[in-house]
């Protein structure tokens, strides 16, 4: 079991506080959704938990060990990361892009070991890309590209997966398909932490909702307990009607 | 995999063919037999002199220069994720030529054979380091290319100043030759000064090749999949600096080879930056060997300089690639 935990994270940049005293132990084998308005510090928290940003103070522990003690590749084999911005510099084939998810295992897209090839095939299949796998990535639609990046993240077969807005640019059907993929991943023991902007979807799929605002975690817990009109008001500054644990109506 | 093997194999065959043709053709045409004799040191001694001391070193110099520039271009394009990155466009060549010219100006080139290569490499490294520093602060490729233009202009201005103050016409013509770029009259000794640096640089670039594939995803995701960005940047910058600097010490500034060859190679290797390196080096070498043969056999009044021809062909190609890139941008 891989445990990832952020402890008392502070981060300031040019005298502006981005994260202040954030502690987030990810529940192993569960889906955690970070929600909060733009600029709440969600992406910075994710990057910090991946070991890509160093906190000003506080620490990130991976299996009780400070994350910066691990080499880049060791860390990448334990934590998969899907950033928010996903440029593709060259029109490489879909399969090669997904195969980059095996980089931490020393895989090269043009000659994958049987184990690497199997992980890549599985990720391509799971993300519904089998028919597209030999297409050049610059011929794909935004939604298809989004699934390529997701498949790339899944191909690493890391026990922890951190994704920043994996649903952006996806239509409703594919949003649900992607969320099902995360659900399957956690059902198999994976630990996922995802930033979402769609609160209804977050409430529907998350085991744990983490409400963030202005660099702080205001509340966290299962959706049944934390999805309340009070939290919607304090975190998002909107009036929400909630019944049966579902968002019914939003107004300013 | 096998496709890459055939591609590289074909390019190696072309390179060998080019080297052989270069020995064959020239002001005194040698027959195939006398070239073979010359290569093996048999037959008439003058054939051996023509082959070993004149034609082969020149052809090898063209091959090595093209290879260094082709691979440097491919690696810089991978690092900066832009098909327009190239030692010439980014001002690396200009800075390197400037440093080399300074050595000629102060008469150090004739004191020690290593002075010129070392200066050229130092210049190339200064420019790549500047660019790298800028790249990590801005992240915008347009800014980066503009900085390259700035480095080029600055080096150009300094060059003019040095030419202005040239102590005598001989130094002046020596220096002008550097700016034009040529492999004429290169000896095996010239090669031994530059070749180690070029090979070292190319070796560093080859070590960095897998990281270039990872960078296709952008720096953030590349770090996410386990790439050590600092090490990657350092390898490419040092590798491209050594290889470009070494090539400039050997041949002066020859532009656009680093941009055309990777562009031509990329579709054959699935656009994977790591697989672009080796064939780009081979293709760059082949390109310059054949271009140099063409220059030698063309009946021009004064012999054309290789760098001039490369720029005449390369600059329009650069514009064409820039226009295409605008249309097909995947960003």
- pLDDT given at position B331: 37
Structurally, chain A folds into a number of domains equal to 1
In this structure, are residues A163 and A2 in contact, taking their beta carbons and an 8 Å threshold? no
Domain that holds residue A193: 4-251
Indicate which of B226, B230, B232 best probes the interface with A, i.e. most A CBs within 10 Å of its own CB. Answer: B226
Closest to A145 (Cα-Cα) out of A117, A169, A171: A169
- Minimum distance, in Å, between the CA of residue A161 and any CA atom of chain B: 11
ipTM for the predicted complex comes to 0.91
DSSP B304: P
Nearest by CB to B216, from A81, A88, A136: name it.
A88
At A135, which CATH number?
A: 3.40.50.300
Indicate which of A62, A92, A95 best probes the interface with B, i.e. most B CBs within 10 Å of its own CB. Answer: A92
Question: Contacts by A139-148 with C-beta closer than 8 Å and gap 24+?
Answer: A139/A91, A140/A94, A142/A169, A143/A169, A143/A170, A143/A171, A143/A174, A145/A86, A145/A88, A145/A169, A146/A86, A146/A170, A146/A174, A147/A174, A147/A178, A148/A94, A148/A97, A148/A98
Chain A residues close to B1, C-beta within 8 Å:
110-111
Nearest by CB to B213, from A77, A100, A111: name it.
A100
Chain B residues close to A111, C-beta within 8 Å:
1
> What percent of chain B has a predicted confidence (pLDDT) above 90?
41
Euclidean distance between CA atoms A146 and A169, whole angstroms: 7
Band (B327; pLDDT cuts 50, 70, 90) = low
| CA nearest to B211 within chain A | A103
Mean pLDDT of A236-244: 83
User: Which string of DSSP letters, residue by residue, matches B4-25?
Assistant: HHHHHHHHHHHHHHHHHHHHH-
Q: What angle do CA A215, A219, A220 make, to 5 degrees?
A: 110
Band (B29; pLDDT cuts 50, 70, 90) = confident
Is the domain covering B2-330 a CATH 1.10.287.70 domain? no
B169 contact partners, CB below 8 Å, separation of at least 6: none
Nearest by CB to B4, from A47, A110, A156: name it.
A110
Mean pLDDT of A79-98: 92
pLDDT tens string A129-185: 999 999 999 899 888 999 999 999 999 999 999 999 999 878 898 899 999 999 999
Q: Using beta carbons and an 8 Å cutoff, which residues of B are at the interface with A?
A: 1, 4, 81-82, 210, 213-218, 220-221, 223-228, 266, 270-275, 328, 330-331
For chain B, which residues make up each domain, given as ranges? 2-330
Band (A226; pLDDT cuts 50, 70, 90) = confident
In this structure, are residues A210 and A16 in contact, taking their beta carbons and an 8 Å threshold? no
Chain A residues close to B81, C-beta within 8 Å:
87, 89-90
Residues facing A210 on adjacent strands:
A34, A220
- Minimum distance, in Å, between the CA of residue A138 and any CA atom of chain B: 6
């Amino acid at each position: 079991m891989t445990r990832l935990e952020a402890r008392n994270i502070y981060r300031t940049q040019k005298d502006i506080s981005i994260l202040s005293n954030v502690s987030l132990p990810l529940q192993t084998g569960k889906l955690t959704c970070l929600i909060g308005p733009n600029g709440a510090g969600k992406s910075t928290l994710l990057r910090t938990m991946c070991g890509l940003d160093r906190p000003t103070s506080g620490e990130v522990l991976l299996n009780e060990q400070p994350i910066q003690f691990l080499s880049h590749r060791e860390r990448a084999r334990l934590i998969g990361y899907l950033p928010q911005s996903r440029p593709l510099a060259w029109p490489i084939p879909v399969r090669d892009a997904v195969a980059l998810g095996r980089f931490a295992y020393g895989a090269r897209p043009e000659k994958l070991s049987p184990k690497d090839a199997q992980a890549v095939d599985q990720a391509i299949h799971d993300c519904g890309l089998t028919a597209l796998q030999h297409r050049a990535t610059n011929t794909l639609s935004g939604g298809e590209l989004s699934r390529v990046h997701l498949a790339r993240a899944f191909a690493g077969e890391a026990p922890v997966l951190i994704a920043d807005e994996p649903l952006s640019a996806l239509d409703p059907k594919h949003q649900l398909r992607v969320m099902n993929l995360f659900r399957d991943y956690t059902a198999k023991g994976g630990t996922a932490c995802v930033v979402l902007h769609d609160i209804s979807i977050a409430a529907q799929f998350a085991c744990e909702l983490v409400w963030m605002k202005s660099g702080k975690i205001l509340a966290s817990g299962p959706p049944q307990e934390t999805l309340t009109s009070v939290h919607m008001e304090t975190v998002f500054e909107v009036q929400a009607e909630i019944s049966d644990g579902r968002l019914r109506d939003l107004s300013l | 995999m096998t496709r890459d093997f055939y591609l590289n194999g074909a390019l190696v065959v072309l390179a060998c063919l080019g080297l052989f043709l270069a020995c064959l053709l020239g002001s005194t045409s040698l027959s195939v037999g006398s070239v073979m004799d010359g290569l093996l040191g048999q037959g008439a001694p003058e054939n051996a002199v023509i082959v070993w001391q004149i034609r082969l070193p020149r052809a090898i110099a063209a091959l090595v220069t093209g290879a260094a520039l082709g691979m440097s271009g491919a690696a810089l394009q991978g690092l900066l994720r832009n098909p327009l990155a190239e030692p010439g466009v980014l001002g690396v060549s200009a800075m390197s030529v400037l440093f080399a010219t300074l050595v000629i100006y102060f008469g150090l080139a004739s004191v020690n054979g290593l002075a010129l290569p070392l200066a050229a490499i130092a210049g190339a490294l200064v420019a790549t380091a500047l660019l790298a520093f800028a790249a990590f602060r801005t992240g915008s490729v347009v800014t980066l290319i503009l900085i390259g233009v700035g480095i080029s202009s600055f080096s150009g201005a300094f060059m003019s100043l040095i030419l202005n103050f040239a102590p005598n016409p001989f130094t002046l013509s020596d220096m002008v030759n550097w700016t034009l770029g040529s492999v004429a009259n290169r000896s095996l000794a010239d090669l031994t000064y530059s070749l180690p640096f070029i090979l070292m640089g190319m070796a560093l670039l080859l070590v960095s090749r897998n990281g270039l594939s990872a960078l296709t995803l952008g720096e953030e995701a590349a770090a996410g999949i386990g790439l050590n960005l600092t090490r990657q940047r350092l390898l490419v910058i040092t590798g491209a600096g050594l290889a470009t600097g070494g090539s400039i010490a050997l041949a002066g500034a020859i532009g656009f080879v680093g941009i055309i060859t990777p562009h031509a190679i990329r579709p054959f290797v699935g656009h994977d930056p790591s697989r672009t390196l080796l064939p780009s080096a081979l293709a760059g070498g082949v390109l310059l060997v054949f271009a140099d043969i063409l220059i030698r056999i063309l009946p021009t009044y004064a012999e054309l300089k290789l760098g001039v021809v490369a720029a005449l062909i390369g600059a329009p190609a650069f514009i064409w690639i820039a226009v295409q890139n605008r249309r097909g941008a995947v960003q």
